[in-house]
Amino acid sequence: MGIVADDLSPAAITSGLATHFIGQRIIYYSRIPSTMEVAKKEALQGAPEGTVVITDEQTAGKGRMRRVWLSPKGCIALSVILYPNIAHLSSLIMVASLAVVHTIAAVTGLWSRIKWPNDVLINGKKVCGILIESGVRDSSIDYAVVGIGINANLKTAHFAEVSLPATSLSDELGRNVSRLELVRRLLVEIERLYLSAQSGEAVYQEWRDNLETLGRRIHARSGNTVYEGIAESVAKDGSLMLRGSDGSLTKLTAGDVTLRE
Ligand code: BTN
């Protein structure tokens, strides 16, 4: 595979970056357990909004539902610190997943879709996972940390532990991509969508239009309960409305979804 610009140093990322606050401060590590833990600590110490924690390699990457997230060298693993109003907390899922879809399209030309609530898939295979953790106190937000992991330059076949079906940008393209270009574009997209989410509902509509899940028969697990039915619609708060075979409608606010044929 060819050599591409791959330096994720703070200077390389911030130089001429077209954002006002997202990514204007970068905390970089060559290797850490998880960017989430560092970002949460920074947030509690009052890091400026938009601070990004990024690493070349995570040794204890965290996925949703307490799963392990593999991010060896070649992947993108970063967390963005935000201080949203509580009313906008649910839109962060939409902002993050749409920002990834736009970034992948702009930098690689690949077409990706969102699997509710916020996995990004290419040809039905997962290329990116998103984890949002927030600190809420007395019904106000202390902080929100948006963690994004993208399988950029990774041969997924070499990683037996990767939960299948998974893919990477390099697997799809047959060549490596510039992680630097991806990260810089991602930060610009996150800022644009984050600001837009605060001023209207365009982000919700776009997120809904990019969901692969709607209209499909799905199997959903939420806590210990399993649901089956047709994914009928999504509400503005991001929850999924599932129509069961008995006609019942269930609102899922979080969960793990498997798409059925
Ligand atoms: C999932 O699909 O289960 C979510 C995966 C989230 C992974 C990212 S990588 C950057 C950040 N640091 C972590 O430890 N997890 C998130």
Residue-wise pLDDT for 2-27, tens only, equals: 455 688 999 999 999 999 999 999 99
Cα 19 to averaged position of ligand 1 atoms, centre (Å): 23
Could you tell me if the CB of 23 is within 6 A of ligand 1? no
> Per-residue pLDDT averaged across 83-101, rounded?
93
The answer to whether residue 162 scores a pLDDT higher than 70 is: no
Which ligand 1 atom sits nearest the alpha carbon of residue 34? 14
DSSP result, 185-202: HHHHHHHHHHHHHTT-SH
Instruction: Give the pLDDT score at 200.
Output: 75
pLDDT for the residue numbered 139: 80
Neighbours of 236 (CB within 10 A): 12
Task: For residues 26 and 10, give the distance between their C-alpha atoms in angstroms, rounded to a whole number.
Answer: 5
Residue 161 pLDDT > 70 = no
Q: What average pLDDT does the chain have? A: 91
Question: Residue 148 pLDDT > 50, yes or no?
Answer: yes
Pocket test for ligand 1, best of 59, 62, 75 (most atoms within 8 A of CB): 62
Atom 9 in ligand 1: which residue has the minimum CA distance?
149
pLDDT for position 117: 87
**Does the C-beta of 176 come closer than 6 Å to ligand 1?**
no
Q: Which DSSP state fits 30?
A: S
Torsions phi, psi for 189 (to 5 deg): -65, -40
Question: By alpha-carbon position, which residue is closest to atom 7 of ligand 1?
Answer: 149
Is residue 155 pLDDT above 60, yes or no? yes
Closest residue by CA, ligand 1 atom 2: 129
**What is the share, in percent, of the chain residues with pLDDT greater than 90?**
75
